[in-house]
Structures are given as C-alpha cells and as structure tokens.
A and B are shown apart, each in its own frame.
Chain A
C-alpha cells in the first residue's frame, strides 16, 4: 500500500516487532507443516474409495432407525447408573484427597501424596484407563464405574483443593481459639466455606460423567457407548445414527439442566 509517492500512508503495525523473529517463525511453521505432511502415509486411492464408502455409510444411516428402542433405553439407563455411581464414589473419595492436596491444611509429605494422586488420575485419558480396567475386571459397567471414578477424582479433587486453599483463614482461627479439635475445626470452619463449590462441582461432574460414559463404553466399559460400537460393528448404520442422535440430545439436556442448577447455586 505505501509507496514512495505517499510516504505517510499508515500501515498496520506487525504482531511481532522484530522482523527476523517474525519471518523466522513463519518459515519454521511452514517447514514443520511440510515435514509433518510428508511423513503422513496419505494414499489418494484409499481416500477416493473412502469417499464412496462415506456415501454408502450415510446412505445406510438415513433414515435413523429407532426400531430397537429397547436396546437404546437399556444402554442409556446403564450409562446413567454408571454416571451416578461413579460420581458418588469419585466425589466421596475426592473430598479427603482434596484436603490432603490443600497447601494450607496438609503437612508437606501429605500434600505431596495428595498432589501425586491428582496428577496421576488427571494425566490419562479416560479411554486408556477404561481399557486397563476392562482388562483387569472384565467387560461391563464395573470397569466404567471405576474409570469414571478416577476421572472424577482428577477433576473434583483438583478444583476442591484450589477452593480450600482460598478459604478465609479468620474463621479457622476463630473456631480454633474457641478450643475445638482438629476434626471440628474442619467441620465448622472449613466445610461450610467449601460446601457451595463442592455441590456445584458434584453436579458438573455428574453431567461430565454421563458424557464420558458414552465414550468409555466404546472400549467395552458398559453403557450406551457399548451399544453404539456394537451397532457400528454390525454395520447397523441406521441404528448407530439413532444412538448418536440420542446421545447428542441427552448431552444437550443434561448440560442445560446442570448449567441451570449451578447458576441458581452460585
């Protein structure tokens, strides 16, 4: 835009001021993407075949078939059961772990242990955990409950520990000054302060577990996910589409309900 004839034309200042760094990053990005693409085993013939197969799959999927709605309902009920039990177990276990992982309440070794539990349960995707549990305790909802319990601990204990670290210390001092023991200090000075957060987290986690239970079922941990993989494996694409639509509907409803409850709570 700016030429010698109009030297005072305004130009947008660049996002990164140093031109060497700016162009260096651009070149680096292009080189990386080019290299990454070149390592991909892309087979155009297969992609072409795939597009035809996609047409076939979608042709087979429409219209979605709700004929075997019994299977659908059973799957969803199992997902809900898994979600409820996992939330209960996970939230129950995450309260003591959160107290262990709160810097202001726990002594250093206990704090380290609590943090380690949280980090380990957070770093694996629930599907990996589900596969290990399916190997250990067999196919079915038990593996799902165990997986989602671990998943809940990772999230709820972390958020709750952060909330505990933020409490108003004055109330703890007041309760201690009145001569109460450690347990009643927790009960009367700490727990009332973290209770609203705890309830909100539990409701969020119930919603989140319901969503995740649709996924862990794919590797055999029970619930609607298992119904979905079975339908997919049998090439029942119309039933699979019906299941997917139901999962989307249930997730949207549960998200709306849990969001509403949490808004009223906070």
Chain B
C-alpha cells in the first residue's frame, strides 16, 4: 500500500514506501485491539474473585495431582462395571435417538415435510433439543425419574435428537431431485418415493452422523453420573467426595481409555461403512 505522505509528480514512484495495511485498515486494527483490551480490563476488574486463591492455585493443583500418584487399582471390578454401564447408556441412547430422529428429520426438511406447520414443528423440536445441554437435560430427568441410568439415557437421547435430526434433515434437503421425479413419474406412492428415492441417497450420511454422535455420547455419558444420572461419573463423584484421590486417578485413566477406544472403534466403523 502507498504511504500517507509522499511527493507528487513523476518522482512519486521512487519515493513510495511499502506498508502492509492502508491507514483505514490500521485504524480498524487499533480499534479492534482497543476493544479487546477494554473488554478484558472490564472482565478482570469486575469479576468476583478472591485473588489470594488465584495465586495459590498452581500449588493447590500440584498438591492435588501429587496425591493422585500412584493410582489405586484395587477397585478395578467396580470401575469395569461402571465403564460397561457408561457404554450401554451411550449406545442405547444413541439407538433410541436415531430411531426417533428419522421422522423429525423428514418433517423438518423442506422438500419432504407435508406442510408448513409440520416444518415449524420439526424445527422447534430440533432447536429446543439442541440448545439445552446434556447436563441440563440430565438435571431435569434426575428430578423427574430420580437418580439412575434411565435419567442418563433420556438426557443423552433428548440432546442427540436435535443433533441427528438437524444433520439428517440437511442431508435430505441436499438430495438429487432426479430420482424422486423418476419415481413419481413411474407412479410410486409417497412411501415408496421415500423408501426408494430418499433413503438410498441419505444412507451414507445417516451412518456417518450416527457413528459421530455415538462417539460424542460416549464422552458425554462419562459425566452424567456427576449429576446422578448413572455411568462412571457416579463412582468418580463418590471417590472425589471421599477424597480417595488414588482411586480418582485410576477412574480418570479408565475414562481416557474408554474415550480413546471409542474414537478408534468409531473411526474404523466409519471407514468400513462409508
């Protein structure tokens, strides 16, 4: 860019100085930076914090980790049972949500929805399911059904519904129109158009999205227990509350193992199916 002050006339070319930004860009960047600084100062000066705790934090955290070594593996039976329960919660909830999300995806896709009312109903279900976090769903279901696996399954299924329905609905909206027209022209009924025109086209997305959500659900179901909704979180909470830090460490390691294993399974399934 050309500098702000420069001689005019034919020498101008020789006196040009390279600058990376125009003055306007430069001021815009200054304004952005100033805005960020102001916001940070506001946040730092008004946040309700006990500063001595902050300065003490590194020592406290170090202390916590020091108490976790060596991990205590004597309760491995309980941990294994809880891991299986976590896996079951994630899988059942995903299966449930997949089945329920199909009709919702159909009515919330613009090209397959019967009419405007169903379109908005579908969108409403998707948005309300997606904008409430799994843990908040879990709080609600624990209050309703009491602590336990059922609350966890319902929480995960309700949150997954929006995710699966939204992605499936988008896939349905993006399908190729030609096969549908061909089927309609050959006199297929509405159900057959869906079965032979829409379903084969969205099948790969369907599997990809379901596997992705299963992977996410596995992670989420490790924390459900912290609000009482079943899974490994329950024994984690119990160990934390009794300050059994070595047990906490082995539970955390077990969670890492579960999550990594889930990721590997999901990746290999994805490669095989798609």
Please list the residues of chain A having a beta carbon within 8 angstroms of any beta carbon in chain B.
12, 15, 32-33, 36-37, 39-42, 46-47, 50-51, 53-54, 57, 77-78, 80-82, 84-85, 88, 123-125, 127-128, 131-133, 135-138, 140-142, 146, 211, 214-215, 218-219, 222, 228-229, 232, 244, 247-248, 251-252
Contact = CB atoms under 8 A, between A and B. Distances in A.
Given A53-B143, A85-B40, A135-B64, A127 B47 contact: no
A37 B91 CA distance: 11
Contact of B219 (A54, A125, A215): A125
Given A123-B259, A125-B222, A140 B135 contact: no
B146 A128 contact: no
Interface stretch (B3-11, B50-58, B105-113, B165-173): B50-58
A167 B200 CA distance: 39
B30 interface: no
A84 B227 contact: no
Interface residues of B, number: 59
A161 B57 CA distance: 29
B178 interface: no
A37 B143 contact: no
Contacts of B46: 77, 81
A21 B88 CA distance: 23
Given A36-B88, A136-B57, A84 B132 contact: no
Interface of B: 39-40, 42-44, 46-50, 53-54, 56-57, 60-61, 63-64, 84-85, 88, 91-92, 95, 127-128, 131-133, 135-136, 139-140, 143-146, 148-150, 153, 196, 200, 203, 219-220, 222-223, 226-227, 233, 236-237, 240, 252, 255-256, 259-260
Given A39-B88, A125-B220, A137 B53 contact: yes
A46 B151 CA distance: 12
B60 A136 contact: yes
B252 A124 contact: yes
B145 A137 contact: no
Contacts of B132: 244, 247-248
A137 B60 contact: yes
Interface centre among B49, B144, B240, B260 (most CB of A within 10 A): B144
A78 B47 CA distance: 7
Contact of B223 (A15, A40, A125, A222): A125
Given A228-B136, A244-B132, A128 B150 contact: no
Contacts of B148: 41
23 contacts: A32-B91, A37-B92, A39-B85, A42-B150, A50-B145, A81-B47, A84-B39, A124-B255, A125-B222, A127-B135, A128-B226, A133-B61, A135-B64, A135-B240, A136-B60, A136-B64, A137-B56, A138-B50, A211-B133, A214-B136, A218-B135, A218-B136, A232-B143
A37 B255 CA distance: 22
A141 B47 CA distance: 8
Q: Is the contact region of chain B dominated by helix, strand, or loop, or is it mixed?
A: helix
A257 B233 CA distance: 35
Given A140-B53, A142-B53, 7 more contacts: A40-B150, A53-B145, A127-B226, A138-B50, A142-B57, A146-B57, A244-B132
A15 B203 contact: yes
B139 A218 contact: yes
A214 B133 contact: yes
Contacts of A39: 84-85, 88
B88 A40 contact: yes
Contacts of B149: 40-41
Nearest to A15: B203
A139 B1 CA distance: 52
